[in-house]
């Protein structure tokens, strides 16, 4: 197997009708001497069907970039657009599914109710939202936990519920932040399989921030973050020409 080709960050931004395009995006936290440049001048794009691993050491800006691409955070410089999602994710609830790095389930709601919530917010009937949620929990192998409250779940089980919640609304773009970070290797592999299967089925773009090389190799593209910059992107499938 030949080594993956390297190409400059931002190349995908030129592809037609991408799900999200970042142009020279920066995100600073704090002011003056306390200022932290979490993301610096990042240009990138996610096309439909993309399978991208965002790698890089802790603090390199992976979570911040995912939150920006989800429309959950606003850049301090640069622009973000979602041409393939009709402009912005806010106007179309459910078009972006996000799996957060930390615990994110609402403690008063069962696993099924947590999973159904995005569809309810999207205006679907409770019955429709519940059946889609049950299907997503089944896909993640945790249908028997439907009635459990978050504090009755292990952190790995809670993470799988959070993934089911992100998939239940069949989003066009799935952004998963360290989705296997709290799982053992076998469960992590199963979760990545579920993410890839669902992304294939619903023709969604998939972006996974991960520390784990075993996860990164299952995705076709790799974006390496380094101190807030998107330093290198590699593509295993098409082996594009080497550039500068
Ligand atoms: P990663 O996900 O790669 O670990 P993050 O995006 O979480 O990186 O963080 C990038 C940088 O931004 C780090 O230096 C982090 O400490 C800082 N940072 C992230 N979120 C905040 C915040 N809410 N306030 C201040 N600094 C933050
Ligand atoms: Mg992170």
Q: Does ligand 1 have an atom closer than 6 angstroms to the CB of 56?
A: yes
- Distance (angstroms) between ligand 2 centre and the Cα of 95 equals 22
pLDDT tens, residue order, the chain (244 aa): 444 444 434 444 455 689 999 999 999 999 889 999 999 999 999 999 999 999 999 999 999 999 999 999 999 999 999 988 887 776 565 689 999 888 899 999 999 999 999 888 888 899 999 999 999 999 888 999 999 999 999 888 998 999 999 989 889 999 999 999 888 888 888 889 888 988 898 889 999 999 899 999 999 999 999 999 998 878 876 544 333 3
Q: Which ligand is nearest to the CA of 27?
A: 1
Task: Check residue 16 and give its pLDDT.
Answer: 65
Chain position carrying tokens 């192998």 = 141
Ligand 1 near 29 CB (within 6 A):
yes
Give the pLDDT of residue 134: 96
77, two tokens? 């410089």
CB-based contacts of 216, cutoff 8 Å, min separation 6: 53, 55, 208, 210, 222
Name the residue with the closest Cα to ligand 1, atom 12. 38
| Residue 92: per-residue pLDDT | 61
Ligand 2: centre distance to CA 202 (Å): 26
pTM for this entry: 0.88
The confidence score (pLDDT) of residue 190 equals 84
The pLDDT of residue 187 is: 84
Q: What is the model's pLDDT at position 9? A: 42
Q: Which atom of ligand 1 is nearest to the CA of 66?
A: 6
Q: Is 91 in the pocket of ligand 1 (CB under 6 A)?
A: no
CA 148 – ligand 1 centroid, Å: 32
Ligand 1 pocket, residue 185 CB under 6 Å: no
Q: Which atom of ligand 1 is nearest to the CA of 30?
A: 25
Closest alpha carbon to 1 in 232, 217, 224? 217
Q: 210 CB under 6 A from ligand 1?
A: no
CATH says 5-104+171-235 is which class?
alpha beta
CA-closest residue to ligand 1 atom 17: 38
Cα of 64 vs its chain's centroid, Å? 11
Strand 229-235 and strand 221-226: the pairing is antiparallel
What residues contact 91, with CB distance under 8 A and at least 6 apart?
Answer: none
What is the reported pLDDT for 90? 67
Residues 6 or more apart in contact with residue 37 via CB below 8 angstroms: 26, 27, 28, 228
Neighbouring residues of the ion ligand 2, judged by CB less than 5 Å = 62-63, 101
Ligand 1 centroid to Cα of residue 41, in Å, is: 16
CA–CA separation, 171 and 131 (whole Å): 16
Please report the atom of ligand 1 found closest to the CA of residue 64. Answer: 6
The protein residue whose alpha carbon is closest to atom 14 in ligand 1 is 59
Query: Which atom of ligand 1 approaches the CA of 228 most closely?
Result: 10
Q: Sketch the domain layout of the chain as residue ranges.
A: 5-104+171-235
Task: Please list, residue by residue across 60-95, b when 16 or more beta carbons sit within 10 angstroms of its beta carbon and e when fewer do.
Answer: bbbbbbbbbbbbebebeebebbbebbeeebeeebbb
């Amino acid at each position: 197997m030949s080594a993956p080709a390297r190409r400059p960050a931002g190349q995908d931004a030129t592809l037609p009708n991408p799900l999200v395009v970042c142009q020279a995006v920066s995100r600073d936290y704090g002011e003056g001497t306390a200022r932290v440049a979490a993301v610096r001048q990042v240009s990138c794009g996610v096309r439909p069907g993309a399978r991208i691993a965002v790698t890089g050491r802790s603090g390199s800006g992976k979570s911040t970039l995912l939150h920006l691409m989800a429309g959950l955070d606003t850049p301090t410089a640069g622009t973000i657009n979602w041409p393939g999602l009709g402009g912005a994710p806010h106007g179309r609830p459910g078009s972006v599914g996000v799996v957060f790095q930390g615990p994110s389930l609402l403690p008063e709601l069962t696993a099924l109710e947590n999973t159904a919530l995005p569809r309810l917010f999207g205006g679907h009937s409770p019955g429709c939202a519940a059946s889609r949620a049950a299907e997503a929990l089944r896909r993640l192998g945790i249908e028997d936990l439907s009635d459990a409250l978050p504090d009755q779940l292990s952190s790995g089980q809670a993470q799988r519920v959070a993934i089911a919640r992100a998939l239940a609304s069949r989003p066009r773009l799935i952004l998963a932040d360290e989705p296997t970070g709290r799982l053992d290797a076998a469960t992590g592999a199963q979760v990545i399989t579920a993410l890839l299967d669902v992304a294939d089925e619903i023709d969604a773009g998939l972006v996974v921030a991960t520390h784990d090389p075993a996860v990164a190799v299952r995705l076709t593209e790799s974006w390496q973050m380094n101190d807030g910059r998107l330093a290198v992107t590699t593509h295993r499938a098409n082996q594009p020409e080497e550039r500068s």
